[in-house]
Amino acid sequence: MGLEIINKFRGPSIIRVTNALSATTINLSQLSANVNTENVISAVITSAKWTLQPTTGNFIVSRGNPVSNLTNTVLNAWQTGYWQHDEGARALGNTPTGNIIVTLVTDGTGIFTVSKDCSYNVDTSVL
């Protein structure tokens, strides 16, 4: 499968990565449930879970622009684990307006939740 993104309108996005996946860029617009009405301005990672091949599995999430090679690694995980934003009231918000770059080395699964800051196009004539 590789990569699956489940977007909720006016809600979070869930990104699931399975099997080996080379560095894959997720643009902020891919986190929109409806590109005609929801414009994603920024996004922060609020939780992550992973289970990887025990000796060689590696799950890496970076933020930024891979074309200019200016990226920030915000998660570098091995084996099995989780991280939740409510532990210390923190979110992985480094470079919140940058693309999300996901890499999964060897077999495993990584899932993370993204909270979005959006603007909305609304047709007020139908309100």
Amino acid sitting at position 38: E
The pTM score is 0.83
pLDDT of residue 12: 93
Strands, sheet with 21-26, edge to edge from the N-terminal-most edge strand: 21-26, 99-105, 58-65, 70-77
pLDDT tens digit sequence for 58-114: 888 888 876 676 788 888 888 888 888 755 555 555 778 889 989 888 888 999 999
* Ordered domains of the chain (ranges, CATH): 3-119 (2.60.120.340)
Strands, sheet with 108-120, edge to edge from the N-terminal-most edge strand: 3-7, 13-18, 108-120, 38-52, 80-84
